Amino acid sequence: MKPPSGPEEARQPASDIRVFASSCTLHGLGHVFGPGGLTLRRGLWAAAVLLSVAAFLYQVAGRVSYYREFHHQTTMDERESHELTFPAITLCNLNPLRRSHLTPNDLHWAGPALLGLDPPEHAAFLRALGRPPAPPGFMPSPTFDMTQLYTRAGHSLDDMLLDCRYRGQLCGPENFTAVFTRMGQCYMFNSGANGAELLTITKGGAGNGLEIMMDVQQEEYLPVWKDTGNTPFEVGIRVQIHNQEEPPIIDQLGFGVAPGYQTFVSCQKQQLSFLPPPWGDCSSVSLDPDFDPEPSDPLGPPSPSSSSSPPYSLMGCRLACETRYVARKCGCRMMHMPGSAPVCSPQQYKDCANPTLDAMLRKDVCACPNPCASTRYAKELSMVQIPSRAAARYLARKFNHSEAYIRENVLVLDIFFEALNYETVEQKKAYEVSELLGDIGGQMGLFIGASLLTILEILDYLSEVFLDRVLGYFWNRRRSQRHSSTNLASHPSVCCHQDSLCLPPHLLPCHTALDLLPVSSRPCLDTLDMPSLHMALPPSPQIKF
């Protein structure tokens, strides 16, 4: 082989495919673009490289497609804790109004809606209550407030609560907060309202939670005058155990506790965690009960809650949805609903609000997604009868009632944690970005023996090819044009200087070499050799006289 004559001949451009293939870390590329001509061995290597690259791209496409499906998996675990937050406990008497606190004015306004009473029946109903009829000349009030009715005539916790203990310590009505539900005025223990510190529990088992004794006051129950949709036939209280961030939906989710029994409720905390879209369908945006969307959309999109609104919860979303639906249909809200709409009158309750809400619940209009984080409590109930024969006389003397009254009205409720462990149900991404990159890296190493740096090598080579072949072509072309124009402009025989006398075109000699030049480029007089010019010019004609 002849040695290179100079450095220019020995140096090969960096964009040469053979130079790149000899130094690239991609396996098999050097065997394909090695020195020499096309051989069977080189063809087999080229086929192997192409098949490997195709298999690699196929595997990568499958992994990327699986990642874009956004699969998730649900894991369940049990964890231990030294301290748990005690849940909120909401209690409602099954009788919404006390008969001793109803007035003729209440019957005039709320009798048709709540009891199905017609005005001619008011006097007979008052007699059934043991109350005198309306005095002659009775005039009802011009306005009526349903909230004030339930506040005044609903069961008072001071009268119902006979005994209260939390973790063995005495408690009382001051530890409860009055709330309104569809069942009327209810009472919530450990509500955390007004910034109150939430109570905690450090030990499981009966007697280490909330234990209350209540009087349901059956003598205050309203008589069943007519069979209406809201007429209660039961006696006792409804109880709901829920998180402090959730409003009570006790008419749908509460369980009953009957008088004459001690009911034990063993709870276990469950912490739920769900994923937002596209992996799941959870939401953390609260519905605004005052939001009024277009009529074509009965619910409208969720709007961000204000800073004073509670965090998103499933029950809160349903309650806000019901509020907006009733407010649109009736122009008012029920007393247990949030928002700034006016409270419905008794007639609106009867004609619109109650039928609308019942129809809405049957149709399940509200489509509320699961919250991204929530807490619920699993319950196990058991009960024993009270009082025993040995305790009946003692309780009768203690509360100044007969033994029959104690059996028919007194109940005991004991709510506690079974243990301080709690369950976690968590949705997790089934395929993370790190796993996708790991699979791509594994396929890349298996099929083509490459890495991320190999990709950088290929990109670097392509940039060199672009600079050398594409940009270099235009650069060389521009440089050659500039060099040509520079040579023409600097040649002394093709420019006429301003201080020289140039021959006119018709005085230039006729020469075949000069005729090839354009007129503007023919030699000037001051640049030609004068003897040569005389020799080139034809002789002047002689004039004879």
| Paired tokens of 418 | 């079974």
Q: What angle do CA 436, 441, 442 make, to 5 degrees?
A: 100
pLDDT higher than threshold 80 for residue 98: yes
Q: Same topology for domains 17-69+434-474 and 285-289+310-371, yes or no?
A: yes
Cα(192)–Cα(196) distance, rounded to whole angstroms? Answer: 5
Superfamily of the domain at 285-289+310-371: Acid-sensing ion channel domain (1.10.287.820)
Cα(422)–Cα(376) distance, rounded to whole angstroms? Answer: 10
Q: Closest Cα partner for 171 from 225, 211, 118?
A: 211
Are residues 334 and 328 in contact, defined by beta-carbon separation less than 8 angstroms? no
What's the mean pLDDT in 287-303?
A: 51
pLDDT digits (tens, 9 = 90+) for 490-510: 554 444 444 444 444 444 444
**Which amino acid, 137?**
G
| Paired tokens of 306 | 């204000």
Cα(174)–Cα(178) distance, rounded to whole angstroms? Answer: 10
User: What's the N-to-C CA distance of the chain in angstroms?
Assistant: 84
- Tell me how far CA of residue 472 lies from CA of 14, 102, 184, 464, 467, in angstroms: 13, 100, 86, 10, 6
pLDDT digits (tens, 9 = 90+) for 316-330: 898 999 999 999 999
Are residues 311 and 284 in contact, defined by beta-carbon separation less than 8 angstroms? yes
- The phi and psi torsions of 272 (rounded to 5 degrees) equal -110, 140
Q: pLDDT over 90 for what percent of the chain?
A: 38
What's the mean pLDDT in 138-158?
A: 90
Which of the four CATH numbers 1.10.730.10, 3.20.20.70, 2.60.470.10, 2.20.140.10 does domain 73-96+154-278+372-430 have? 2.60.470.10
pLDDT higher than threshold 90 for residue 176: yes
pLDDT higher than threshold 90 for residue 212: yes
| Paired tokens of 386 | 């009270």
**pLDDT winner (highest mean) among 438-442, 465-469, 476-480:** 438-442
Are residues 536 and 511 in contact, defined by beta-carbon separation less than 8 angstroms? yes
**Which amino acid, 166?**
Y
Q: Closest Cα partner for 327 from 337, 318, 312?
A: 337
Q: Exposure pattern of 345-356 as b/e (b: 16+ CB <10 Å)?
A: bbebbbebbbeb
pLDDT digits (tens, 9 = 90+) for 341-379: 899 988 898 889 988 988 888 887 788 888 999 999 999
pLDDT: is 230 or 223 the higher one?
223
Note the pLDDT of residue 292: 52
Note the pLDDT of residue 111: 82
**Half-sphere exposure of residue 507, counting CA atoms within 13 Å on the CB side?**
9
Note the pLDDT of residue 262: 96
Beta-sheet pairing, 72-79 with 161-166: unpaired
pLDDT higher than threshold 50 for residue 162: yes
Q: What angle do CA 260, 264, 265 make, to 5 degrees?
A: 130
pLDDT higher than threshold 70 for residue 12: no
Cα(207)–Cα(413) distance, rounded to whole angstroms? Answer: 11
**Residue boundaries of the structural domains of the chain:** 17-69+434-474, 73-96+154-278+372-430, 98-138, 285-289+310-371
Are residues 248 and 179 in contact, defined by beta-carbon separation less than 8 angstroms? yes
Omega of the bond prior to 87 within 30 degrees of 0, cis? Answer: no
Strands (E), 45-111: 72-79, 84-85, 88-93
pLDDT higher than threshold 50 for residue 40: yes
What's the mean pLDDT in 539-543?
A: 47
Note the pLDDT of residue 366: 83
Mean pLDDT of the chain: 81
Q: What is the CATH number of domain 17-69+434-474?
A: 1.10.287.770
| Sign of CA pseudo-dihedral 431, 433, 434, 438 | positive
pLDDT higher than threshold 70 for residue 291: no
